[in-house]
Amino acid sequence: MSNNRSNFIHGLWDELADFGADRSDQALVHLMEGLCALTGTWNITWMETVRLDTSAARQESSSPQKR
C-alpha cells in the first residue's frame, strides 16, 4: 500500500473518530465519500452482518431438565 493511501486511510479514520454517536448518519456518509475518493468510484454500498453465537442456548434447551 502506498504511503499516500495509508495516510489517507489514517486521516479518514481520525476524522470518523471526531463524529459523536449522535452524528452516526453523517459519519457513515463521510466514510462512504472517503471510500469513493480512495477507490475512484462514484458509489459505495455498505452492508453489515452480525452472527450471534447460539450454541450455549441450543445446548441448554436440548439437555434433560434436572429435578
Could you state, in order of their start, the residue ranges of all structural domains in the chain? 3-62
For residue 32, give every residue at least 6 positions away whose Cβ sits within 8 Å of its Cβ, in sequence order, or none. Answer: 44, 46
Q: What is the helix (H) or strand (E) element at residue 65, kind and residue range?
A: none
State residue 15's pLDDT score.
97
Give residue 48's pLDDT band: very low, low, confident or very high (50, 70, 90).
Answer: confident
Cβ 38 vs Cβ 2: under 8 Å? no
State residue 40's pLDDT score.
92
pTM above 0.85, yes or no: no
Give residue 29's pLDDT band: very low, low, confident or very high (50, 70, 90).
Answer: very high
Q: CA 16, CA 30: separation in Å to the nearest integer?
A: 8
Query: What DSSP designation does 2 have?
Result: -
DSSP-derived 3-state class of residue 1: coil
